[in-house]
Amino acid sequence: MSENKTDDVSEQILNAVKKNSKGISATDMAAEVPDLPSAELVGAINKLLQQGYLDIYKQDGALIYKIKNQLSKQVVKGADNEEKVVYNLIEEAANKGIWIREIRNQSNLTNPQLTKILKNLESKKLIKAVKCVNASKKKVYMLYNLEPDRSISGGAWYQDQDFESEFVDILNRQCLRFLHQRADKIKNNPRGPIVGRTQSYATAIEVQKYITDLGISKVKLEVEDVVTILNTLIYDGKAESTVYPDGSRVYRAIESLIPPPGLVQVPCGICPLIHKCSSTGLITPQDCKYMNEWLEQ
């Protein structure tokens, strides 16, 4: 009978807490469960806290109770208090992850103890360690089922914190190819240059569709990813972009204004030693190997 009664009380308390997702203060709690002496109420709350149904916070000097995430409660079942604390800290960090030193500072656990707990949790596949792209030595922990944030993983361009320059290069080339297919339409278009220009433009969404259809990327590329690639094309001088009246950005492949100038057609223009070359000394134009090779082509 008494068991039943406690269950009822717990139910009531939980319902009260669930209704107020922002948390409920002790006085409000007493109002929600009126026909209960405060001693019993405290007892019931303590029990719930122990079982991990409730969380307790201190706000403006008053105690606040909050409902705890059901899922996490299940996961930590059977874990001891330290593990729970660590787990909670990691959970709070969400997909940004949390650094081991931060955990240590916040949990006040000793280093060997903490390592042991983290290992334990990792082996249970509750959390995972993710390497940060910005600092190669820095490892952050987050829940196992979370996708790391872009600032941690670097987005589509990173694989295990290594920048995939080849992937970027390939995409860069494919985007350019797509733009090139259209670019010729501006040339002597019988319907006039403005129509031609419009036909030679491509929006980022079109490019993204083209790339996705090609199926070269295992990762799903967002439009903003494609925009980054298109921007590299602009920095390569192979494309230009304009804004349409409706605010969308369009891209067009262009050619450089002049063919390669004379300086890069002669060996000296690309010679790494040009600044060391002089009339006398070790490096002279008279017996320059590069020059002779170029002449004998």
Partner 1 sequence: MSHQLGRLVAQILQRYCGEIVEKVGNDLFMYGSKPIAMIVKSTGLPRTQVIESLRTLMKFDLAMFEATGPHVDYRLLPENVLLLIRYPRYLLQMKSKYGTEAELIIEELLQQATCSATLLLVTIANKYKDDKDKNLTIVTLKDTFISLATAAYIQQAPVAEIKEGSEIPNLVQVATIVPDLDTRALMQAMANPVDIKDNIYWKVNYDRFHQDFRDDIMIKAMTRRIDDTAGEVMRLLLQQMYLSSAAWAEESNAIPVTDLRESSRLTDKILLHHHLEHYLKVMEENGAGFIRRAGDAGGGQYCVQAKVAAKLLVEDVLDHVVTERLGSKAARIFRLIRAKKYVEEEDIQKNAMLPNKECKQLTYKLLEEHFISVQPMRKSQQVSGTQKGIYLYHVKLFEAVHVCREMCYASLHNLSRARRQLVSEHGRALDKQRRVRTIVHGMRMRSETEESINDVLETLTPPEVNLLAQVEKQLKQLSTAELELDRNLFILNWYLHYP
Residues that bind partner 1 (CB under 8 A): 157, 162-163, 165, 168, 172, 186-188, 190, 192-194, 197, 228-229, 231-232, 234-237, 240, 242, 252, 254-266, 268-270, 272, 274, 277, 279, 285-286, 288, 291, 295-296
Residue closer to partner 1 (CB basis): 81 or 188: 188
Tokens of 276: 């060391």
Q: Are 128 and 122 in contact (CB under 8 A)?
A: yes
Nearest one of 165, 187, 167 to 252, comparing CA atoms: 187
Q: Hey, CA dihedral for 103, 106, 110, 116, is it positive or negative?
A: negative
Residue closer to partner 1 (CB basis): 63 or 227: 227
DSSP assigned state of 244: -
Give least dist CB 246 to partner 1, A.
Answer: 16
Give least dist CB 132 to partner 1, A.
Answer: 13
Give least dist CB 229 to partner 1, A.
Answer: 7
Phi/psi for 179 (5° steps) reads -65, -35
Long-range pairs for 162-167 at CB < 8 Å and ≥24 separation?
A: 163/133, 167/217
Give least dist CB 47 to partner 1, A.
Answer: 51
Give least dist CB 221 to partner 1, A.
Answer: 13
Separation CA 221–CA 241 (nearest Å): 20
* Partner residues linked to 270 by β-bridges: none
Residue closer to partner 1 (CB basis): 61 or 192: 192
Residue closer to partner 1 (CB basis): 5 or 276: 276
Residue closer to partner 1 (CB basis): 1 or 243: 243
